[in-house]
Amino acid sequence: MSEIIKVGVLTVSDRCAAGEAVDESGANLQALVASGTVYGGKVSKYMCIADELSLIKETLINWCDEEKLQLIITTGGTGFGPRDVTPEAVKKVIEREAPGLSTCMITESLKVTPLAMLSRPVCGSRGKTLIVTLPGSKKGSEECLRFIAPAVPHAVDLLMGWKTRVEKTHSALQAVGGHCEHIHHPRAHPHGHGLHHYHHHHHCHALGGEAENQESKADVSRISGRPRKSPYPMISVSEALSTVLSHAEQCANKTLPMQESLGFVLAQNIIAKDPLPPFPASIKDGYAVLASDGAGLRTVGGDSTAGCSPEKTRVSSGMCIRVNTGAPVPAGADAVVQVEDTELVKEDDDGRKELEIKILKVPNQGQDIRPLGCDIATGQKVLACGTLLGPAELGLLATVGVTEVLVVNKPTIAILSTGNELQEPGEPLREGHIRDSNKTTLMSLLRQYGYPVINAGIAKDDPTALLSSLKYAFSQADVLVTTGGVSMGERDILRPVLTTDFDAHIHFAQVFMKPGKPTTFATCQVNGRKKLILGLPGNPVSAVVTSTLYILPLCRKMSGRSDHMNTEIRAKLSESIQIDPRPEYHRATLCWHPGVDIPLAHSTGNQLSSRLLSLASAQALLKLPPATPEVKELAEGTVVDAILLEM
């Protein structure tokens, strides 16, 4: 069982090879292999080459015969474009075709898009190497790899003659009567707007090995034996938040084109390499003069307009040069007199030229001149490491000519809904079902704040289904937000699956708050990477309140923001409010009245945690204190803390 499959990922794309496009598909396929989508696989070769038949052929032959890879995955060049020749190259290289793999990819892809009719996959073996051709798009190539993943390890075992693994698979097949056991596992499309379609993912226990089809070891079958009280201690919101934040590691740095860096935190100091203004510049439309000449007559010796070269002219005693705002002040001049403080004395015959003017006010030395480098000096630090890049900061980068910046990356967050009752919003509503709203809400919330999100689909309340979804989510992101499955029901299986199958540490699972009491936070290691899991309650309002409270600060901190906490203000209750034994986060709109410095807060009405309508127009979460035996209500006019919800 210990053999590792050596995998080669070959991207065939003129544009990527020329550096005109980023090889997202190749990068994604490598990540998928590394995360275990292809059983026991390890990427040992990767190349990105142009759509050249001979080049593709040579590379494949080298990887088969010299490098002795067990599996080669190509992406790109399988379409109908004039340069699409990957299948032709593969055909020349393989010795035996494996049409079953190609059929599987086409059949499954057709369920996703009719355009699959136009893909031309070729799969087969050369010596002991299996070669499969995947389409070029990131989404398509990932889907196709997932379609064939259950059969690939067995194919490799057979080609390699790895006997024990082959026998094991065969006996597993016998045990289930010669058929693969198909588990229909709905999984949303992980990419694009992907909220609409989903396909059924065929799991084949006997073939797949542990990467894709592992069964959960969590035993949740003893319903009557489940605890009737949460075994986790109840902690406060502030303790919960500081626990979450204490696990926030700042993301790695990356270089971005300046234009794409909006909303990122700068990971370098920005030093000006030249002065601004780069020449002494006039602040006014007027005349450049010698201040020592005082008021009185001047001959007009020419002009200096914005954008012209400063060496063109020179000012000497008794003369002046007409200048515009932003134009270089000519050499010799030490003051600018605005046109309003002058009079025309003499012009030429056709009135096109000023010949002589009179300065009405005695000029001061340096007046209305921005000296060289007065805004930004050469070598000056214009932006410090740690600065959040907003529109003005990007303008500064443009000013100092910095086109690429080192920034702190942002975390990618995978969002997974759980619940047997959930279905995608676009499907006809089935009996006993409701539409999954949490995924849309949370993905939109995070996107609104500029965080990349991954749709990890809907998991059934079944340990093995959840395990498979969690694995997928962990292969895509280091932060996972789930909704549902953390209450006290026997179907609330997130915690058992996390602890049993991922050896996760549950940091807390009960918070003294309303809504959001069962909010769960766990961490674990997957393939050497630390994963943070926030298990939010399924109720739509609880999910939004808890993501605002915990996930937004977490994401900000991971993105390098020092100001990662939510903004809190004070607000005055417009009416009396009953308070709960738990601290409540009460949705409200805010109204600022002229002359009053504290806004009035209006409750959005019924605060049932299932009532998404109570959030629809909310601008703030009022932090209502817990009730005491003495105080069960806050009177109208009470001032409370409120978390601002930016919209």
Binding site for ligand AMP (CB under 6 A): 417, 419, 421-422, 434, 436-439, 483-487, 489, 537-540
**Among candidates 426, 449, 498, which has minimal Cα distance to 263?**
449
Question: How many whole angstroms separate alpha carbon 112 and alpha carbon 109?
Answer: 5
Question: How many whole angstroms separate alpha carbon 12 and alpha carbon 54?
Answer: 12
CB of 120 to ligand AMP, least distance (A): 39
**Do residues 640 and 570 lie in contact, with contact meaning Cβ atoms separated by under 8 Å?**
yes
**Among candidates 289, 327, 544, which has minimal Cα distance to 437?**
544
CA 361 to chain CA centroid, nearest Å: 60
Two structure tokens written together for 543 = 């999910």
Residue with tokens 């002589």: 356
Q: Burial level of 14, CB count in 10 A (0-12/13-18/19+)?
A: middle
Task: Closer to ligand AMP by CB, 46 or 512: give it.
Answer: 512
Phi, psi of 547 (to 5 degrees): -70, -35
Task: Closer to ligand AMP by CB, 144 or 493: give it.
Answer: 493
CB of 479 to ligand AMP, least distance (A): 18
In three-state form (DSSP H/G/I as H, E/B as E, the rest C), the secondary structure along 442-468 is: HHHHHHHCCCCEEEEEEECCCHHHHHH
Which residues in 68-214 belong to E strands, given as ranges? Answer: 71-75, 96-97, 123-126, 129-134, 182-188, 198-204
List, in sequence order, every residue forming a beta bridge with 100; answer none if it has no partner. Answer: none
**Do residues 632 and 561 lie in contact, with contact meaning Cβ atoms separated by under 8 Å?**
no
- How many helices and strands (H and E) does the chain possess? 18, 36
Question: How many whole angstroms separate alpha carbon 551 and alpha carbon 442?
Answer: 10
Amino acid symbol at 333: A
Question: How many whole angstroms separate alpha carbon 93 and alpha carbon 499?
Answer: 47
Contacted by 325, from Mg ion, ligand AMP, none: CB < 5 to 8 Å by type: none
Question: How many whole angstroms separate alpha carbon 549 and alpha carbon 645?
Answer: 10
CB of 488 to Mg ion, least distance (A): 11
Question: How many whole angstroms separate alpha carbon 95 and alpha carbon 417?
Answer: 45
CA 480 to chain CA centroid, nearest Å: 13
Task: Closer to ligand AMP by CB, 121 or 516: give it.
Answer: 516
Q: At what angle do helices 152-160 and 163-175 cross, to 10 degrees?
A: 130
In three-state form (DSSP H/G/I as H, E/B as E, the rest C), the secondary structure along 16-55 is: HHCCCCCCHHHHHHHHHHHCCCCCCEEEEEEEEECCCHHH
Question: How many whole angstroms separate alpha carbon 354 and alpha carbon 345?
Answer: 8
Which residues in 154-295 belong to E strands, given as ranges? Answer: 182-188, 198-204, 253-257, 265-266, 270-271, 281-282, 286-289
Neighbouring C-beta atoms of residue 595, cutoff 10 Å: 5
Residue with tokens 């794309």: 13
Residue with tokens 């550096």: 19
List, in sequence order, every residue forming a beta bridge with 379; answer none if it has no partner. Answer: none
Contacted by 440, from Mg ion, ligand AMP, none: CB < 5 to 8 Å by type: none
Q: Rounded to 5 degrees, what angle do the CA atoms 306, 307, 310 make?
A: 90
Task: Closer to Mg ion by CB, 13 or 483: give it.
Answer: 483
CA 35 to chain CA centroid, nearest Å: 19
Neighbouring C-beta atoms of residue 375, cutoff 10 Å: 15
Task: Closer to ligand AMP by CB, 282 or 418: give it.
Answer: 418
Tell me the residue number closest to ligand AMP, measured at CB.
Answer: 538
* Chain positions contacting Mg ion, by CB under 5 A: 419, 484-485, 538
Contacted by 537, from Mg ion, ligand AMP, none: CB < 5 to 8 Å by type: ligand AMP
Two structure tokens written together for 518 = 């069962």
